[in-house]
Structure 1
């Protein structure tokens, strides 16, 4: 491979890396935070009041409150009690505690978990393609005959094998 094409890949790799440094930091931080999403780590309590439809059963109440694994602990008269709150069956009034991350981290997580219904879904696609370019362009930054290229291949194979192991664990 000629020196000109090596420099071209290095330039694209370098300037795309600088351009995407901010979004890569967001994905890195939110990925770490998402690791703890099943815990209350860094979350604060917010007292919530909502008026829902009256006469909801346990399943419908859990769906209305958007709580996974929802379970009513006890029912006394017209009031159903669940972890962190209560629901009045006759009036439809629900009082409960919701745990949330700080607004900045919550927004970072929303960006990280973006889907095709989000108006900015193209950003996620662009970022994915850019990361794929980083992975591929790294192999074109050095001459295949260079010792550093061969050493890099060993690391690439090790990383690939680790990924395969992680996918099946």
Structure 2
């Protein structure tokens, strides 16, 4: 029985170690992108937004006289004239110019006040965050293997430690606390 017990603990340690190394990269990706996803109200995982407010010094023509040529002259100092898509007037004195990639320029044609918003894609964090939305069949299979791997890592880790620091001692108390905290949040907050 002792020999079987030792083989089980050795097998448990080896499986735990190998799966931990294999899935550690994925665990880091999920952890980093999960932090960003948890704080979406203050960090957009897909884009960074650069906002610049300024006043246009030259007099602008009336709404009826604004054409694409005038708009291009407004975009030139920003280096955005090649990214123009369209413009419109949500209000009679307010013009909004749409640019490729989601950037925009809003100009008050009476006061010359302008707000330029430049969107820049966050390629790495955005791609990592997209994994939380299950982007395809192959990802589903890998994510399922990852979930099963985490279950195995958890059980081999729990069963590896014997004695007062194991499941029937301090480890068991920590294990129950780790289950209770998410359940409390699910049902009471």
Counterpart in the other structure of 1:35: 38
Please list every run of at least 4 consecutive aligned residues from structure 1 whose deviation after the TM superposition is greater than 3 angstroms. 44-47, 49-52, 74-77, 96-101, 116-119
Q: TM-score, normalised by structure 1?
A: 0.64
Deviation at 1:20, TM superposition (A): 1.3
Counterpart in the other structure of 1:25: 28
Please give the secondary structure, in 2, of the residue aligned with 1:44.
Answer: strand
Counterpart in the other structure of 1:102: 122
Give me the whole-angstrom Cα distance separating, in 2, the residues matched to 1:5 and 1:163: 31
Q: Which has the higher helix share?
A: 2
Structure number with larger C-alpha Rg:
2
Give me the whole-angstrom Cα distance separating, in 1, the residues matched to 2:146 and 2:137: 15
Q: TM-score, normalised by structure 2?
A: 0.58
Deviation at 1:3, TM superposition (A): 1.3
Structure 2 residue 170 is the aligned partner of structure 1 residue 155: no
Deviation at 1:119, TM superposition (A): 3.8
Output aligned runs, 1:36-115, within 5 Å.
36-40=39-43, 43-45=48-50, 74-76=90-92, 85=104, 99=119, 102-111=122-131, 113-115=132-134
Output aligned runs, 1:138-149, within 5 Å.
138-143=157-162, 146-149=163-166
Counterpart in the other structure of 2:111: none
- How many residues in Structure 1 have an aligned counterpart in Structure 2? 139
- Give the unaligned 5+ runs of structure 1: 53-73, 87-95
Deviation at 1:38, TM superposition (A): 2.1
Structure 2 residue 151 is the aligned partner of structure 1 residue 132: yes
Q: Cα distance 1:85–1:153, how it changes in 2: closer, same or farther (>3 A)?
A: same
Give me the whole-angstrom Cα distance separating, in 2, the residues matched to 1:102 and 1:121: 23
Contact 2:16-2:156 at 8 Å conserved across structures: yes
Please give the secondary structure, in 2, of the residue aligned with 1:2.
Answer: helix
